[in-house]
Structures are given as C-alpha cells and as structure tokens.
C-alpha cells in the first residue's frame, strides 16, 4: 500500500499585521487540507509580542479545524530572555519544533520536531537527532534528491521543504532596518513593508535573493511538484508548505491533490504559476543544480 504523504504548514516567517495573521490561520483551520500547523516567531523575537494576545485563540481555531499544532522556536536566539521564553514553552508541555541546537539542548531528550533551520546534511547527523528525541525532521531546503533518499531510508521522520521561498541564512544584523535607513534597535518594524520579503538584485539588476529582517531567503519559490512521487518512494513522510501572501489554501489543495494522485505534476505547476507568487517556481536544489534555477518546462 502506498504511504500517504502528510502536509505541514510551516510558521509564517514574515512580519504580517495581526489581523492578516489571524485571518490567515482562520482560513487554514477551516479550508486547508493540511495535517500539521507550525506557529511561532522564528526570525525575530521583537515581532512576537504583536501576536501573543491572539495566539491561544488561533490555536483553538486550528485544533477545532482538526489540525495538529506545533510551536516553532527562534532559529537564532541571542539573549537570555529568548532562551528563557523557549524554556518556558518546553516546561508548559507544548509540542515543540526546534530551530536551533540550543533548543534541542533545552529539550533534554523530550520528543520534538526539528525545523529546516538546523543543518542536517547526512544520515549520521539525522540519526543523532533521532537519538536526541526528534520524531519529525524537516530537512534544509538546499538538499538534492539523492541526499534526501539516503537519509529517508529506514525511518519515518523525514519531511521535505516543498513550497515557499527557501530559507537560506540568518544573521544577528537586520538587513531590512539597514535598507530602510533605521537601526536594528530602533527598527520601527519596517520589515512589515515587505510581506513576502524584500527582493535583492545583483549589480546587473537581476533578482536573486530576498531578505526578511535578519533572514536571507531565495528570490525563487521552491515547488517540488515534479518530484512528489520520487520523494514518497524515497521514504519521505511529509511535505512542508511555507506561507507566502498568495492563496495558501489553494496551494495546500494543489499539493494534497498531487500527493493523492488526483492531479498531474504539469497541472499542479500550471495551477501554482497563476497564483500571485513573489518569484518564479524552482526545483533547482532538488535537481542538484543552483537553487536559483527555475523549474524546467516539459
């Protein structure tokens, strides 16, 4: 019997207004065919207070919609307060997705998920994280299919980044603040002006990256639609969809239909391409070519 691929919706990586954030998850709860939803501020702890007062309301709505909710942690905690907040979440008994190794240490062997911000590039590292308590591991988006196949064999924990601008790096410096002429400590939250990230161009005017506060992403939008069957055959158990401002309910339905075999990769690509995406579709990393390479047309 063919294994059913589950769908995970990753955390919103961008600084969206609170109303947009709440409305987004309300639609996800009621309409999106995803199994797991990750909530939590991953990029910048300064954004977290904006949604603190509505998070429990959103969690309740998602759970009533039949979604499993997981709390994602910061990918680059830099202060004692941030570490303390993560520790408090762990002590409260929430399901945790660790996005840095300090959080794995704080979990101290408790069952948890691992997000795509922890560098797991080979089977030995993956085995170590399983030993440390990981039950689900979303691999970094830059891995080729052959590496994924090697790591996914023989376990039921591997998730693959399947849609969205690929997260590539984090820094202690805030690119958005500098670009808008402000300082990080008095940033005025200018990252909210670029709700899918701010495009970065080469000196020749060619877009190739995007920045989101302290985060660097790809300009392209990862879409593994042509490789879903191969990923399932490799042993992957889940596909991760990373929120963008496009219609993510539609995105989830496209991937659900594709995983269930009720649509073709070509039809899925065409359906995605007409959405309001921040960049062209790409499967370069999965094909083992530069990640900025756009999806090849059949």
pLDDT tier at 296, thresholds 50, 70, 90: low
The count of structural domains within the chain is: 1
Alpha carbon distance 150, 121 (integer Å): 10
Quick check: is 197 in a domain?
A: no
CATH number at residue 65: 3.20.20.70
| Residue 261: inside a domain | yes
Q: Is residue 99 part of a domain?
A: yes
The reported pLDDT for the residue numbered 230 is: 96
pLDDT mean over 287-293: 88
Residue 2 pLDDT more than 80?
no
Report whether pLDDT(242) > 80: yes
Range of the domain at 60: 6-164+222-265
**How many angstroms separate the CA atoms of 262 and 251, rounded?**
15
Residue 129 maps to a domain: yes
Phi, psi of 38 (to 5 degrees): -95, 130
Residue 148 has pLDDT above 90, yes or no: yes
Is there a domain that residue 279 lies in? Answer: no
Greater model confidence, 31 or 184: 31
Residue 1 lies in a domain: no
pLDDT confidence of residue 27: 98
SS3 content of the chain, % helix, strand, coil (to 5): 40, 20, 40
**Model pLDDT, residue 297:** 52
Res 237 pLDDT > 80 = yes
In the chain, the percentage of residues whose pLDDT exceeds 90 is 86
- 154: three-class secondary structure by DSSP: coil
pTM for the model stands at 0.95
53-98 per-position pLDDT tens digit? 999 999 999 999 999 999 999 999 988 999 999 999 999 999 999 9
**Distant-in-sequence, close-in-space partners of 108: CB < 8 Å, separation ≥ 6:** none
Tell whether 145 is covered by a domain.
Answer: yes
State phi, psi for 268 to the nearest 5 degrees: -65, -45
The confidence band for 172, taking pLDDT boundaries of 50, 70 and 90, is confident
Please check whether residue 98 lies inside any domain of the structure.
Answer: yes
Residues 252-264: what's their mean pLDDT? 97
Closest CA to 173 of 84, 78, 86: 78
């Amino acid at each position: 019997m063919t294994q059913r691929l589950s769908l995970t919706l990753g955390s919103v990586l961008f600084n969206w207004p609170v109303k947009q954030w709440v409305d987004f998850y309300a639609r996800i709860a009621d309409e999106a065919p995803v199994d797991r939803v990750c909530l939590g501020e991953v990029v910048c702890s300064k954004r977290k207070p904006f949604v603190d007062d509505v998070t429990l309301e959103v969690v309740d709505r998602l759970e009533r919609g039949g979604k499993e909710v997981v709390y994602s942690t910061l990918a680059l905690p830099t202060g004692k307060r941030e570490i303390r907040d993560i520790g408090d979440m762990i002590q409260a008994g929430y399901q945790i997705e660790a996005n840095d190794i300090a959080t794995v240490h704080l979990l101290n062997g408790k069952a948890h998920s691992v997000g795509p911000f922890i560098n797991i590039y080979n089977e030995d590292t993956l085995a170590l994280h399983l030993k440390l308590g990981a039950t689900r591991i979303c691999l970094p988006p830059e891995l080729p299919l052959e590496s994924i196949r090697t790591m996914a064999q023989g376990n039921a924990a591997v998730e693959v980044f399947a849609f969205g601008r690929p997260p590539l790096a984090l820094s202690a410096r805030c690119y958005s603040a500098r670009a808008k002429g402000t300082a990080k400590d008095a940033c005025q939250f200018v990252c909210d002006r670029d709700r899918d990230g701010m495009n970065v161009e080469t000196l020749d005017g060619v877009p190739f990256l995007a920045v989101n506060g302290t985060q660097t992403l790809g300009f392209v939008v990862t879409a593994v639609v042509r490789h879903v069957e191969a990923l399932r055959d490799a042993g992957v158990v889940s596909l991760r969809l990373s929120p963008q401002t496009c219609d993510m309910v539609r995105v989830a339905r496209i991937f659900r239909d594709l995983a269930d075999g009720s649509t073709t990769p070509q039809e899925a690509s065409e359906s995605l391409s007409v959405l309001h995406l921040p960049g062209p579709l790409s499967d370069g990393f999965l094909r083992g070519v530069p990640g900025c390479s756009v999806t090849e047309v059949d």
